A and B are shown apart, each in its own frame.
Chain A
């Protein structure tokens, strides 16, 4: 965390509850990086959304002690990830960011992942086609073989995505629907 001092709580959480929340946030900051490579700042901001659901950039600054620039960049990334939505607070120029559902149970989040996989497949196929069409001329160029191998292996991995999404639907789909 950027600061040891606990500033005023934007939602008035009790200090003992705040202490438990802090432990959860620190767990995600450490373990997300270790296991899934997620940036600790993103993990911290996301954990506050997991618990509090609606936050302004000022709330996040107060909770984390991070600078306005860091928070602005983080919430933009969470919006891009389909984890939170951005709304204008009526009558003001301020924004509030909301996590409607946990990403694990969010149709919006899984929809974003599905779209990303589709885009990746399309782009990778186009790249492979370019390399196949110029194979004779390119084959001795530096890096050709490695680039080709990376693309074909990624395409192979992506071909398993529908199976993965079907399992998500079977095991997690009911929670997504219940939360709709």
Chain B
């Protein structure tokens, strides 16, 4: 009986941890990520530093899935990889705090929008050949471009303004 309370407390903490992982996984899934990718990312947010073995233990996913996901996260700049000098095992460390990495991702969205705009310029040029305007499917591409050409700059303004507001609020807090 004496051991039952600490066990209950431990269980409560693990339940919160699982809920947190599930919540972050759901949020990732609803933004178009795979459940596996989102779950692995959630564990990294919580643990801050992981190995492939630890992620395998936490998620049960194959080492192939884990390795591919970590490569993508490393490419995105979310994690940094370093080798343990004793075990030679790779460690993957969250590059900054959870807040820092998520705020940094706003910059990624801005770069994405910029590249979209550049890419659509090339598509406009291709679609501009007069002989294409009577081809089946032309109207679909035209409508797609017309909508994106308006909405992408609008979203760029949203992200620029949001970043400014957040940076100003942060600077204000630091002064205080």
A interface list, Cβ under 8 A from B: 9, 11-14, 16-18, 20-21, 23-24, 27, 31-39, 42-43, 46, 50-53, 77, 80-81, 102, 104-105, 112, 116, 120, 123-124, 127, 130-131, 134, 137-138, 141, 143-144, 146-147, 149-151, 153-154, 156-157, 160, 163-164, 167-168, 171-172, 175
B interface list, Cβ under 8 A from A: 5-6, 9-10, 12-13, 16-17, 19-20, 23, 26-34, 37, 41, 45-48, 72, 75-76, 97-99, 102-103, 105, 108-109, 111-112, 115-116, 119, 123, 126-127, 132, 135-138, 140-141, 144, 147-148, 150-152, 154-155, 157-158, 161-162, 165-166
Do B136 and A37 touch across chains, with their CB atoms under 8 A apart? no
Do A39 and B37 touch across chains, with their CB atoms under 8 A apart? yes
Do B135 and A16 touch across chains, with their CB atoms under 8 A apart? yes
Do A18 and B23 touch across chains, with their CB atoms under 8 A apart? no
State in angstroms the CA–CA spacing of A16 and B131 once bound together. 10
Collect the chain B residues with CB atoms within 8 Å of residue A11's CB.
136-137, 140
A83 nearest in chain B by CB position:
B32
A36 to chain B, nearest CB (A): 6
State in angstroms the CA–CA spacing of A50 and B147 once bound together. 10
Do A146 and B48 touch across chains, with their CB atoms under 8 A apart? yes
Consensus secondary structure, chain B interface: helix
B5 nearest in chain A by CB position:
A137
Q: Contacts A16-B132, A20-B127: A81 and B32 contacting too (C-beta < 8 A)?
A: yes
Do A35 and B144 touch across chains, with their CB atoms under 8 A apart? no
State in angstroms the CA–CA spacing of A46 and B112 once bound together. 16
Do B32 and A172 touch across chains, with their CB atoms under 8 A apart? no
Consensus secondary structure, chain A interface: helix
B49 nearest in chain A by CB position:
A146
B127 to chain A, nearest CB (A): 6
Collect the chain A residues with CB atoms within 8 Å of residue B47's CB.
143, 146
Do B158 and A168 touch across chains, with their CB atoms under 8 A apart? yes
Q: 8 other contacts beyond A17-B137, A130-B16, A134-B13, with CB at 8 A cut-off?
A: A24-B144, A37-B72, A77-B32, A141-B9, A143-B47, A147-B16, A160-B166, A171-B158
Collect the chain A residues with CB atoms within 8 Å of residue B76's CB.
34-35, 37
Collect the chain A residues with CB atoms within 8 Å of residue B37's CB.
37, 39
B65 to chain A, nearest CB (A): 12
Collect the chain B residues with CB atoms within 8 Å of residue A81's CB.
30-32
State in angstroms the CA–CA spacing of A151 and B99 once bound together. 10
Give 8 nearest A-B pairs by CB, closest first.
A13-B137, A35-B112, A17-B137, A14-B135, A38-B32, A153-B98, A104-B151, A42-B32
Collect the chain B residues with CB atoms within 8 Å of residue A150's CB.
20, 45-46, 98
